[in-house]
Structure formats: structure tokens, C-alpha cells
């Protein structure tokens, strides 16, 4: 893992700050007793029951920092391989340890038409428990249903441009105080102009690539840089994160 220090985090290039403060996340909105979900820029995140409010905040801030820093190093939609490499590097710089990873491979749909929800579900299926998969599905469906909500604006703009895109689905869990995050990385190049990614239907002409990343937070090190990470993305956080209401 690359060296983790406050100086390194402060030196991360995030590019110009174009975000807007739109909503405020209340501290008590992060409930650790039930499953919950959020959108962080071009990522949809599932928290299984038991993830503490502090660790939920850590995940949201880390995923936002990784995306914004990767955006400054590579073109998110046009060069997703370089972008994801930069993304992983930033996560490692912020006290996340890579447990497992796989490089991008072609997604093979199980049906003649499919959606983004199908891609996420199929890719997660062999990597999470059935119960965790149920939580992830509920969060993705909550985003699909939030047609006029702030989450749509937060997710749609970074996740795609026309017929190309690059987004993530993450699932965070905590066991005995150890925080883990599993991430499905999806990039695509399709013949149609995509308006609402979560509602779009695709056929075999669509080219989707999926990669996978499993991370563990080094809590001891992260505790020393937590405030620096929060400060680094403070001005962007409120305009880039939206909580999702689950049924």
C-alpha cells in the first residue's frame, strides 16, 4: 500500500471545484441499525445493517475523494481503465487495503435485453451473500424509483455522457469493527444516446465491461487522516452525495 499521510492527501489534485451545495446530510440520517443506501457522484452505495454512522461517513468521503481525484488524472468516460487505476491508487493512499481485484472483462448478459441493475446484480451475485445481494438490489431499485429526486442529478451527470459511461456500485459491511467495501466497476460504450442510465434498456449491441475491487479499511491509519480527507472534499460533499430512502 502506498504511504498514507496528511501531506499526501492534501497534495491530491482534485481539479477545479465545480460542485454546488444543494442539500445537507443530517448526522442522524445515517442509521446503522438497518440497511441504507446513498449516491456518491457516479457511485451507488449500499450499507448493510451494522455499519456504524462513522464508517458510513468514511465510505462516502473516501469514494467521493477517489472519484474526484481520478477525474483529474484521466478522462472518466473515454479512458475508464486509466481512470480506475487512478481511483484504486487514491483509495490505497487513503488507508484502504486491496484484498482482491479483477481487471475489466466483457459483460455477458443472461437475457436478450438488460439494464444496469442486471449488470450490477449479476456481477455481485458470486461475490456477496444472498442477503447482501438483496440489500444491494433494494438500493439500486430505490435509485431507479427516485425519478425526480436529487439522487438522479448526483448520479446521472458523472456516470455517463451520451453513449459512453463509467460508474460504480459499492457494498459496505462491518464485522467486529472491521469495515470492508466491495466495488463493481462498470464502463460501457453503446450505440444509443443514454438519458436516464438506470432506466435504460440495452441489447447485445451494447458493450459493457466490468471489474471488481474488494477493500478493507486500515482503521488505525485512517483515524490519523480522517479529518484531512473530510476537509479535502468538504466543499464538494453536499453537492455530490444524496441519501436514498429504502422501502
pLDDT along the chain (247 residues), means of 10: 82 71 44 90 97 96 97 96 96 96 94 96 96 97 93 94 96 97 98 94 95 97 96 94 91
Q: What pLDDT shows up at residue 5?
A: 83
pTM of the predicted protein model: 0.92
Q: Given this model, what pLDDT does residue 8 score?
A: 87
Please, are residues 235 and 19 in contact by the beta-carbon 8 Å criterion?
yes
Instruction: Give yes or no for a contact between 130 and 232, defined as CB atoms under 8 angstroms apart.
Output: no
pLDDT of 29 reads: 53
> In this structure, are residues 23 and 242 in contact, taking their beta carbons and an 8 Å threshold?
yes
Q: What pLDDT is stored for residue 15 in this prediction?
A: 82
CATH topology of domain 36-235: Delta-endotoxin CytB (3.40.198)
pLDDT for the residue 30: 65
Cα of first residue to Cα of last residue in the chain, in angstroms, is 39
Residue 20, pLDDT score: 44
Amino acid at each position: 500500500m502506498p504511504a498514507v499521510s496528511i501531506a499526501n492527501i492534501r497534495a491530491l489534485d482534485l481539479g477545479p471545484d465545480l460542485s454546488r451545495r444543494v442539500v445537507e446530510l443530517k448526522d442522524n440520517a445515517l442509521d446503522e441499525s438497518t440497511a441504507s443506501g446513498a449516491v456518491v457522484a457516479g457511485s451507488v452505495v449500499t450499507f448493510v445493517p451494522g455499519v456504524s454512522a462513522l464508517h458510513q461517513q468514511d465510505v462516502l468521503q473516501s469514494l467521493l475523494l477517489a472519484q474526484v481525484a481520478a477525474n483529474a488524472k484521466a478522462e472518466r468516460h473515454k479512458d475508464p481503465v486509466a481512470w480506475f487505476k487512478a481511483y484504486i491508487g487514491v483509495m490505497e493512499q487513503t488507508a484502504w487495503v486491496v484484498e482482491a481485484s479483477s481487471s475489466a472483462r466483457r459483460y455477458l448478459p443472461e437475457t436478450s435485453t438488460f439494464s444496469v441493475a442486471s449488470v450490477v446484480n449479476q456481477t455481485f451475485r458470486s461475490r456477496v451473500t444472498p442477503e447482501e445481494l438483496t440489500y444491494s438490489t433494494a438500493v439500486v431499485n430505490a435509485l431507479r424509483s427516485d425519478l425526480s429526486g436529487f439522487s438522479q442529478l448526483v448520479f446521472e451527470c458523472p456516470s455517463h455522457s451520451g453513449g459512453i459511461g463509467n460508474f460504480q456500485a459499492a457494498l459496505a459491511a462491518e464485522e467486529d469493527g472491521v469495515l470492508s467495501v466491495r466495488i463493481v466497476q462498470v464502463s460501457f460504450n453503446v450505440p444509443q444516446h443514454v438519458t436516464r442510465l438506470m432506466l435504460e434498456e440495452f441489447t447485445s449491441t451494447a458493450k459493457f465491461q466490468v471489474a471488481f475491487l474488494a477493500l478493507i479499511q486500515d482503521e488505525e491509519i485512517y483515524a490519523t487522516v480522517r479529518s484531512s480527507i473530510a476537509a479535502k472534499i468538504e466543499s464538494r460533499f453536499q453537492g455530490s452525495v444524496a441519501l436514498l430512502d429504502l422501502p
